[in-house]
Amino acid sequence: MDLYSGKTALVTGATRGVGRIIAEHFLAQGASVIGFARGEARLTGPAYHHVQVDLADPLAIQKAFLGLHKQVTSLEIVVNNAAVLTSQYAMIMPPAAAQAMVNVNLLAPFIVSREAAKFMRKTKWGRIINIGSMAVSLEPMGDSVYAATKAGLSTLANVMAKEFGPMNVTCNTLGITAIESDMLAQLPRDKIEAIISGLPVPRFATPADILNVVDFFASEASGYVTAQTVFLGGVN
Amino acid sequence: MALREAALREAAMGIVLDALESLNQELDLSDRVAVGPTTPLFGADATMDSLSLVSVIVDVETALTLKYDAPISLTDDRAMSREISPFDDVATLTDYIVELISEIAPA
């Protein structure tokens, strides 16, 4: 039996990296998937609906949801995955890059979650999953704003968990380590490998590691699990 | 002009009253609110709690957004800074909606 048969899932940043892995998994497990991304669709199929939207623009996100109201009647699962990363020492971090991280990594999940909750309150069922980062715990130099936005993501989920709890909507955060992706390729490989070698489980994350926790948070049985952050690889 | 405003007002009032009816369907019998133009929404006279008011606002915003095909927010700074709150009762909220709609869909 497919895990997500009959459910509709929205994944932000669905065109590549972790978002694409999660979107493909949901599709393989029977869900209808809505992908929000700035770029063009890279997934196809009758169960996939792509929405090109600039997640740095709150109004654009609201307009995208306006379109969704005309196309889908329910939305059960949201994965706030899209993120941008500029790793740079604070004193030389371009303000525009810092602003972009706040907009995409923190403000967009807020807007997406609140608009999704308006669907979920009608069916009294929902799972909101944020993709966080080990940077929250490791606090690497250069990642001041990135780590702060990802820390904010957990707080966002925790407060929303209280507001949405009566609607049977859970909000949780998965703090991932490093996985082979376009975002990882932006960073110095030797520094990443040094960080990974210091983890309790000293290896890169695999898609299966991520999907295991996504499935846990999204499952029917996890209705009593909310306001939690799970880190991979032994990060805490 | 007056005819258009009257039609807008009737439509807006209908949306607010529908939201109250929808809220009542979710509430226990003893918690249900009156459905009418003078129903207080917020303040000392209001009988609904804050989460119920949020539900009403979300339903009204969603209905307006779909009807006028543009994101409409009832809780922006302009609404919150008014001397007379749009959320005093159904009538004041209706007035505020008519004002918003007149701006996004001028005659």
pLDDT per position as a tens digit, A112-159: 999 999 999 999 999 999 999 999 999 999 999 999 999 999 999 999
Q: Contact at 8 Å (CB) between A234 and A201?
A: yes
Give the pLDDT of residue B1. 61
Closest to B71 (Cβ–Cβ): which among A59, A70, A166? A59
- Report how far apart, in Å, the C-alpha atoms of A205 and of each of A134, A212, A233, B102 are: 11, 11, 7, 54
| Residues in a beta bridge with A65 | none
Mean pLDDT of each 10-residue bin along chain A, 236 residues long: 94 96 98 97 95 97 94 96 95 96 98 96 96 96 97 98 96 95 81 92 96 98 98 95
Residues 40 to 99 of B: which have CB under 8 A from any A CB?
Answer: 51, 55, 58, 62, 65-66, 69-71
Contacts of residue A200, Cβ cutoff 8 Å, sequence gap at least 6: A233, A234, A235
* CA proximity to A150, closest of A220, A70, A52, A83: A83
What distance in Å separates the CA atoms of residue B23 and residue B15, rounded to the nearest whole number? 12
Residue B107 has pLDDT above 70, yes or no: no
For the question of residue A4 being annotated catalytic, the response is no
Could you give the 3-state DSSP secondary structure of residue A216? helix
Q: What's the predicted TM-score (pTM) here?
A: 0.90
